[in-house]
């Protein structure tokens, strides 16, 4: 049996990178006072149709939809934003103008052609902030994404920033854009012509090479923004400068989903070929209204974890921590004696490996060395008879036998040898905590 096309196992070697991202992101999100939200993987199909937009790639060709036994049309979520908007309304989380700062991490599903950086099951880390349309919030959430990417050391990413205005401004701009693209209709195939009629904005960030030259001469959306939208965009840029976040304004950036207004942004890299966006987001002040509730100001972003990991691997190598303590038992009949050490080790969060192979002590010691353990606890026939255990320091090679009247003395024995180092380096290097 094989996993389903486009859906991958995440094996232990890979998991280290996931944990690393999780840990760094969590620290930054905690500091910014964000809280985790988890929503179901399955939602009503109509939720996505109404929010993401019928003419988008996701709805027109990428959704995993099926009917359940009661003939409900259900969908494996293609993204997190719509589900969280539903949850906000369903649980009245923004009652009395309360703000909500939420983060999520989980699998998303899109029926796309699998390739490097593009799977059918992929994962996103994202944040959603509800309850304010202040441009400082736009800058702050971008700053959070930027901080996470910088702290992760994933190489150079460039922040592209744009404003797509409100729906009225966008409509006017769309019309102008349509007229512009229609001038080139002779050179374009039917699919592109249909997009010109249905949603010309979508063509602006098209990856189609024959469109590049045409797009470069297209009208600029910023000329269609009114005072409010222009001021909002100017302030976002000002605040980003205050936060020392480098960015470049990219008037061709429109994003692939329909619910955005005003600020949109993407963090891009040139290390991943065409799958070049690591994180994308924007403002969506009318999303809750589109799915049947009151309008609530909101803004957020989503980060593709698999793409991020491809980048990370170019820059850092995360290795598994070795076990600190290797427990070698000469005769497995006495393994119960060895097991009694485990609660003591666990109390100090040290990593251990207990050898159940029954092979010779020499072989077990070789394995302990190979695994780069710091010490090997040896339980031989003699230790059992005398109620002792032997601690062998693997790097230095010396060993000493201790009475096991109290196993509790075990870790202090290790600690006293390495005094200062124990709490800092050694503890960090061998602890089971990240």
**325-329 β-sheet, strand order:** 352-354, 325-329, 375-379, 388-393, 399-403
**Nearest distance from C-beta of residue 86 to ligand ATP, angstroms:** 17
**Nearest distance from C-beta of residue 218 to ligand ATP, angstroms:** 19
- In 3D space, the residue among 166, 117, 129 whose CA is nearest the CA of residue 308 turns out to be 117
**Nearest distance from C-beta of residue 112 to ligand ATP, angstroms:** 5
Beta strands in 229-371 (DSSP E): 248-249, 261-268, 277-283, 298-304, 325-329, 352-354
DSSP state of 115: B
Contact 419, 409 (CB under 8 A): no
CA Rg value for the chain: 28
Which residue's CB is nearer to ligand ATP, number 50 or number 110?
Answer: 110
DSSP state of 252: T
**Nearest distance from C-beta of residue 433 to ligand ATP, angstroms:** 29
**Nearest distance from C-beta of residue 191 to ligand ATP, angstroms:** 17
d(CA 396, CA 62): 59
Contact 264, 255 (CB under 8 A): yes
Q: Give the per-residue SS3 of 185-246.
A: HHHCCHHHHHHHHHCHHHHHHCCCHHHHHHHHCCCCHHHHCCHHHHHHHHHHHHHHHHCCCC
Which residue's CB is nearer to ligand ATP, number 245 or number 278?
Answer: 278
Residue nearest to ligand ATP (CB): 304
In the complex, which residues of this chain contact ligand ATP (CB under 6 A)? 79, 110, 112, 117-119, 122, 124, 256, 275, 277-280, 302, 304, 306-307
Which residue's CB is nearer to ligand ATP, number 268 or number 297?
Answer: 268
- Binding-site residues from annotation: 79-81, 110, 124, 128, 255, 259-260
Which residue's CB is nearer to ligand ATP, number 278 or number 377?
Answer: 278
User: Within its chain, how far is the Cα of 243 from the centroid?
Assistant: 23
Which residue's CB is nearer to ligand ATP, number 262 or number 277?
Answer: 277
Which residue's CB is nearer to ligand ATP, number 7 or number 354?
Answer: 7
**Nearest distance from C-beta of residue 53 to ligand ATP, angstroms:** 12
**Nearest distance from C-beta of residue 126 to ligand ATP, angstroms:** 8
d(CA 59, CA 48): 7
Which residue's CB is nearer to ligand ATP, number 22 or number 417?
Answer: 22
Residues ≥6 apart with Cβ < 8 Å to 305: 18, 21, 105, 122, 123, 124, 125
Contact 62, 119 (CB under 8 A): no
- Binding-site residues from annotation for L-histidine: 79-81, 110, 124, 128, 255, 259-260
């Amino acid at each position: 049996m094989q996993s389903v096309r486009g859906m991958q196992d995440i094996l232990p070697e890979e998991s280290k990178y996931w944990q690393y991202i999780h840990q760094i992101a969590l620290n930054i999100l905690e500091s910014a006072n964000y809280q985790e939200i988890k929503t179901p993987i399955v939602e009503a199909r109509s939720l996505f149709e109404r929010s993401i937009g019928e003419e988008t790639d996701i709805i027109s060709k990428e959704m995993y939809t099926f009917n359940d036994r009661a003939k409900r049309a259900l969908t494996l979520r293609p993204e997190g934003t719509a589900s969280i908007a539903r949850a906000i309304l369903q649980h009245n989380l923004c009652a009395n103008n309360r703000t909500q700062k939420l983060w999520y991490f989980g699998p998303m599903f899109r029926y796309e052609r699998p390739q490097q950086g593009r799977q059918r099951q992929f994962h996103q880390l994202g944040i959603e902030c509800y309850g304010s349309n202040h441009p400082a919030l736009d800058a702050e959430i971008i700053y959070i994404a930027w901080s996470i990417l910088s702290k992760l050391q994933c190489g150079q990413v460039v922040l592209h920033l744009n404003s797509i205005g409100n729906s009225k401004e966008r409509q006017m701009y769309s019309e102008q854009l349509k007229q512009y693209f229609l001038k080139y209709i002779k050179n374009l195939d039917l699919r592109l012509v249909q997009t010109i009629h249905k949603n010309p904005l979508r063509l602006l960030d098209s990856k189609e090479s024959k469109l590049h030259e045409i797009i470069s001469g297209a009208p600029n959306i910023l000329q269609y923004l009114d005072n409010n939208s222009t001021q909002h965009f100017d302030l976002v840029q000002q605040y980003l400068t205050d936060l020392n976040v480098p960015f470049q304004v990219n008037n061709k950036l429109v994003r692939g989903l329909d619910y955005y207004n005003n600020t949109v942004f993407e963090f891009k890299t040139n290390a991943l070929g065409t799958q070049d966006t690591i994180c994308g987001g924007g403002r969506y002040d009318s999303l809750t209204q589109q799915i049947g509730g009151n309008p609530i100001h909101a803004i957020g972003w989503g980060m593709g974890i698999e793409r991020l990991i491809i980048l990370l691997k170019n820059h850092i190598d995360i290795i598994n921590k070795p076990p600190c303590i290797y427990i070698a038992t000469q005769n497995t009949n006495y393994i119960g004696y060895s097991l009694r050490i485990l609660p003591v080790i666990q109390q100090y969060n040290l990593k251990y490996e207990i050898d159940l192979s029954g092979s010779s002590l020499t072989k077990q010691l070789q394995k302990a060395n190979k695994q780069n353990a710091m010490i090997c606890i040896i339980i031989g026939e003699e230790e059992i008879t005398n109620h002792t255990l032997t601690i062998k320091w693997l790097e230095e090679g010396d060993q000493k036998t201790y009475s096991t009247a109290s196993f509790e003395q075990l870790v202090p024995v290790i600690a006293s040898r390495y005094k200062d180092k124990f709490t800092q380096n050694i503890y960090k290097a061998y602890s089971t905590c990240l």
